[in-house]
């Protein structure tokens, strides 16, 4: 299983889109600032959108598609499934335990 996900900061002013085969590990790395980079620099750790895909090719294609979208279009996608922009991490991490 592959995942495409979007993270934001506390004030929802920055968006990051990524792809992974282990959503729990990867989001945990972002939340703990395990690597220097964009998410650590801008404190982007709130999970607001997740999509699942059966294979890497489809997931990578979707990630590239989302990265090409305007901010308004990304906001609309997030608000379709998460209108309050709540952090989905507690629910996701709870399912992993």
Domains and CATH numbers, the chain: 2-96 (3.40.1440.10)
pLDDT number for residue 35: 79
Please give the Cα distance from 87 to 10 (Å, whole number): 9
Enter the pTM of the model: 0.93
- Collect all residues with Cβ–Cβ distance below 8 Å to 42 and sequence separation of at least 6: 9, 14, 16
At 95 the pLDDT is 65
List average pLDDT for each run of 10 residues in the chain, which is 97 residues long: 97 97 95 88 95 98 98 98 97 74
């Amino acid at each position: 299983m592959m995942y495409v996900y979007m993270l934001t900061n506390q004030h929802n002013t920055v968006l990051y889109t990524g792809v992974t085969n282990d959503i729990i590990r990867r989001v945990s790395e972002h939340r703990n600032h395990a690597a220097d980079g964009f998410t650590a620099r801008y404190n982007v750790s709130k999970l607001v959108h997740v999509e699942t895909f059966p294979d890497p090719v489809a997931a990578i294609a979707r990630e590239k598609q989302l990265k090409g979208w305007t901010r308004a279009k990304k906001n609309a996608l997030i608000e379709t499934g998460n209108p309050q922009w709540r952090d989905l991490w507690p629910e996701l991490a709870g399912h992993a335990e």
